[in-house]
């Protein structure tokens, strides 16, 4: 018997630290960790102690005897990982506790943002004696993407907010909610009050398609759509037309699948979720029968997790469909690859089954591949989308709503350098550097999406924050951080209550 890591894994790695036989992979810092869909337990080494399941913040770890039917495939998903990455170095890892150097003054750090990247950083810093942390958040509610990015029906993933909540209550943590850096307070002012500022406010732009008609009414960014159904205050006035029978979602990642699932599944399955009431009402009145998920490349290149795709195939009242011709190309490519992974074969298998299914249910999600968006049609509002196909032909799909889920992108921050090519803040191990000289800008750090780009599960931010904090502590220990000039900051506000 063994424990099994399932779909809602957030890659936080809390389980890794408590496993007595170290049989959970990949490890933070290992190649492939940042891009890993999830973590895996080696069934041959696991001693069935249950420590990891106790520690998991999103309840993603289940005993294999208790796996519900829709998660049973995760038994082989976990085992397959170790068939391709045999466990060679299973040994207890020492728990590393950080300490400030003796005789130094209290370390004062401002953390901008209150999403996962910010709270992993704030949590790690505030665990240490002699550290004071100020969290500065422009919204009046904490948790960033956990609250406003994770789909409302992914309740286990949203539960990670419960892991973060105690950090906001620590006596050495001050929370400034409703304070926008760059508007209510400048970076320089924050810097004067602290030894260091960590920018951890995420990536708030969207990648564009760069095609005609992208700005027509009915062409919507996934960011706006997700903000709408999650009740983000900036999306309070948004309205989306769900009166057509078909929606096209452009993208090949988890966000595209989240949106397809939300639009297609029976609305009753959202009744007891934290979805925004007006979005729930709009979905109740929706006339949508088909959600087309259109990807530029094939299923083997998809950025979504296989678990998320599997979940679509289990949705009640929804047929998952695909086009046979688009799958055979992917099969051919996989056979030609030198070492195609079992995970890719499993993913292809889901799509292959979708291609042979006869529609029976009232709604359907249709997976389409190798369609390059060419133009959105319509005078003032979208009436359809044109795709270029690999054989040189063009295909038109009629729709009044196109949701563009082709990725997020960092935006420049006033007072900090920015690399427009990557959409990130230039940095070395979390130290923000001048773009031309590459020299660290004293006292300025970054972590999360704005540091590494918008990719990776929530828990990847933990390893990211740990590296940034190591740099910051090294700089503090070596006397490179100037002492704060003035204390304290105005307007300390209590963190608002509420979970994810
Ligand atoms: Fe490790 Fe125990 Fe979890 Fe098995 S059940 S993976 S031995 S912590």
Q: Report how many helices (DSSP H) and strands (DSSP E) the chain contains, helices first.
A: 16, 22
Name the H helices within 149-196: 155-158, 160-168, 187-193
CA separation, residue 221 to residues 201, 212, 270, 425 (Å): 20, 15, 22, 23
Distance 162 CA to ligand 1 centre (A): 23
Distance 462 CA to ligand 1 centre (A): 21
- Nearest-atom number in ligand 1 for the CA of 48 is 5
pTM for the structure as a whole: 0.85
Q: Name the residue of 27, 48, 56, 87 whose CB sits within 8 Å of the most ligand 1 atoms, as the mutation to test its pocket.
A: 48
Name the H helices within 317-438: 324-336, 342-356
Which region, left, alpha or beta, applies to residue 59 given φ > 0 means left and ψ of -120 to 50 means alpha? left
The reply to whether ligand 1 has any atom less than 6 angstroms from the CB of 90 is: no
Which region, left, alpha or beta, applies to residue 101 given φ > 0 means left and ψ of -120 to 50 means alpha? beta
- Nearest-atom number in ligand 1 for the CA of 50 is 5
Distance CA 307, CA 7 (A): 5
Distance CA 23, CA 16 (A): 8
Q: What is the pLDDT of residue 492?
A: 46
Distance 386 CA to ligand 1 centre (A): 50
Q: For 233, phi and psi rounded to 5 degrees?
A: -60, -30
pLDDT in tens, the chain (500 residues): 789 999 889 888 889 988 888 899 999 888 888 888 899 999 988 888 888 998 998 999 999 888 998 899 999 999 999 988 888 765 555 556 678 877 778 899 999 999 999 999 999 999 999 999 999 999 999 999 999 999 999 988 898 898 899 999 999 999 999 999 999 999 999 999 999 999 999 888 888 899 999 999 999 999 999 999 999 999 999 999 999 999 999 999 999 999 999 999 999 999 999 999 999 999 999 999 999 999 998 888 888 888 899 999 999 999 999 998 888 777 777 777 666 678 888 888 999 999 999 999 999 999 999 999 999 999 999 999 999 999 999 999 999 999 999 988 888 988 999 999 999 999 999 999 999 999 999 999 999 999 998 887 888 888 889 999 999 999 999 999 988 986 555 554 454 444 43
The reply to whether ligand 1 has any atom less than 6 angstroms from the CB of 47 is: yes
Distance 54 CA to ligand 1 centre (A): 10
- Nearest-atom number in ligand 1 for the CA of 19 is 8
- Radius of gyration, CA atoms only, the chain: 23
The reply to whether ligand 1 has any atom less than 6 angstroms from the CB of 49 is: yes
The reply to whether ligand 1 has any atom less than 6 angstroms from the CB of 54 is: no
Distance 166 CA to ligand 1 centre (A): 26
The reply to whether ligand 1 has any atom less than 6 angstroms from the CB of 46 is: yes
Instruction: Assess contact for 432 and 477: CB atoms under 8 A.
Output: no
Q: Name the residue of 19, 63, 65, 74 whose CB sits within 8 Å of the most ligand 1 atoms, as the mutation to test its pocket.
A: 19
Distance CA 94, CA 87 (A): 18
Distance CA 348, CA 489 (A): 55
- Nearest-atom number in ligand 1 for the CA of 42 is 6
- Nearest-atom number in ligand 1 for the CA of 49 is 2
The reply to whether ligand 1 has any atom less than 6 angstroms from the CB of 3 is: yes
Tell which residue, 281, 108, 128, has the closest CA to residue 196.
Answer: 108
Instruction: Assess contact for 327 and 348: CB atoms under 8 A.
Output: yes
Q: Which residue has the tokens 């948004």?
A: 238
Q: Atom 1 of ligand 1 has which residue's CA nearest to it?
A: 19
Tokens of 385: 């989308």
Q: What is the pLDDT of residue 497?
A: 46
Non-local (6+) Cβ contacts of 189 within 8 A are none
Q: Atom 6 of ligand 1 has which residue's CA nearest to it?
A: 46
Q: What angle, rounded to 10 degrees, do the helices at 254-264 and 222-229 form?
A: 50
Measured in residues, the chain has a length of 500
Q: Atom 2 of ligand 1 has which residue's CA nearest to it?
A: 49
The reply to whether ligand 1 has any atom less than 6 angstroms from the CB of 19 is: yes
Distance CA 340, CA 193 (A): 53
- Nearest-atom number in ligand 1 for the CA of 15 is 8
Distance 56 CA to ligand 1 centre (A): 11
Distance CA 410, CA 418 (A): 9
Distance CA 265, CA 364 (A): 9
The reply to whether ligand 1 has any atom less than 6 angstroms from the CB of 41 is: yes
Q: Cβ-count burial of 31 within 10 angstroms (0-12 exposed, 13-18 middle, 19+ buried)?
A: exposed
What is the maximum span of the chain, computed from C-alpha positions, in angstroms? 72
Tokens of 208: 């564009």
Q: What angle, rounded to 10 degrees, do the helices at 160-168 and 116-126 form?
A: 50
Name the H helices within 337-445: 342-356
Dihedral of alpha carbons 52, 53, 56, 60, sign: positive
CA separation, residue 484 to residues 24, 182, 189, 190 (Å): 42, 19, 10, 9
Q: In DSSP terms, which residues pair with 212 in a beta bridge?
A: 375
102 alpha carbon, distance to own chain's centre: 38
Q: Name the residue of 16, 50, 79 whose CB sits within 8 Å of the most ligand 1 atoms, as the mutation to test its pocket.
A: 50
Instruction: Assess contact for 283 and 263: CB atoms under 8 A.
Output: yes
Dihedral of alpha carbons 457, 458, 461, 463, sign: negative
Distance CA 306, CA 459 (A): 18
Q: What is the pLDDT of residue 90?
A: 57
Distance CA 250, CA 242 (A): 17
Interior CA angle at 454 toward 210 and 275, to 5°?
95
């Amino acid at each position: 018997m063994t424990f099994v890591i399932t779909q809602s894994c957030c890659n936080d790695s809390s389980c890794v630290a408590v496993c007595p036989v170290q049989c959970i992979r990949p490890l933070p810092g290992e190649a492939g960790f940042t891009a890993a869909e999830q973590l895996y337990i080696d069934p041959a080494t696991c001693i069935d102690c249950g420590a990891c399941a106790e520690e998991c913040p999103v309840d993603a770890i289940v005993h294999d005897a208790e796996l519900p039917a829709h998660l049973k495939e995760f038994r082989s998903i976990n085992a397959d990982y170790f068939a391709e990455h045999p466990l060679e170095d299973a040994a207890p890892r020492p728990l590393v506790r950080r300490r400030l150097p003796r005789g130094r003054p209290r370390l004062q750090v401002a953390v901008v943002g209150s999403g996962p990247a910010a709270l992993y950083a704030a949590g790690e810093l505030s665990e240490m004696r002699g550290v004071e942390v100020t969290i500065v958040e422009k919204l009046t509610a904490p948790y960033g993407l956990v609250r406003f990015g994770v789909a409302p029906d992914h309740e286990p993933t949203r539960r990670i907010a419960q892991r973060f909540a105690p950090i906001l209550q620590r006596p050495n943590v001050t929370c400034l909610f409703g304070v926008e850096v760059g508007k209510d307070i400048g970076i320089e002012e924050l810097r004067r009050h602290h030894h260091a500022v960590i920018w951890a406010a995420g990536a708030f732009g969207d990648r564009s398609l760069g095609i005609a008609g992208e700005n027509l009414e009915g062409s919507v960014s996934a960011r706006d759509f997700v903000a709408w159904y999650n009740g983000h205050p900036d999306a309070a006035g948004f309205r989306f037309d769900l009166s057509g029978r078909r929606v096209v979602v452009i993208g090949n990642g988890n966000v595209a699948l989240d949106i397809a699932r939300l639009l297609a599944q029976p609305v009753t399955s959202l009744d007891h979720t934290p979805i925004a009431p007006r979005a729930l009402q709009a979905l109740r009145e929706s006339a949508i029968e088909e959600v087309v998920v259109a990807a530029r490349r094939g299923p083997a290149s998809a950025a979504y997790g296989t678990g998320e795709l599997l979940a679509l195939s289990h949705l009640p009242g929804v047929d998952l469909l695909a086009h046979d011709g688009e799958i055979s190309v992917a099969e051919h490519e996989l056979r030609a690859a030198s070492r195609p992974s079992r995970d890719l074969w499993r993913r292809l298998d889901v799509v292959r089954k979708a291609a042979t299914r006869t529609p029976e249910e009232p709604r359907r999600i249709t997976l389409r591949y190798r369609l390059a968006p060419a133009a959105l049609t319509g005078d003032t509002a979208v009436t359809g989308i044109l795709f270029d196909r690999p054989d040189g032909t063009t295909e038109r799909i009629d729709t009044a709503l196109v949701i563009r889920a082709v990725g997020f992108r960092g935006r420049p921050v006033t007072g900090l350098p920015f690399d427009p090519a990557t959409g990130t803040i230039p940095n070395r191990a979390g130290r923000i550097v001048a773009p031309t000289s590459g020299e660290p800008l004293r006292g300025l750090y970054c972590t999360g999406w704005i540091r590494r780009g918008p990719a990776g599960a929530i828990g990847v931010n933990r390893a990211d924050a740990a590296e940034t904090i190591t740099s910051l502590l090294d700089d503090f220990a070596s006397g490179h951080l100037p002492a704060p000039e003035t204390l304290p900051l105005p307007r300390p506000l209590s963190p608002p209550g509420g979970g994810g």
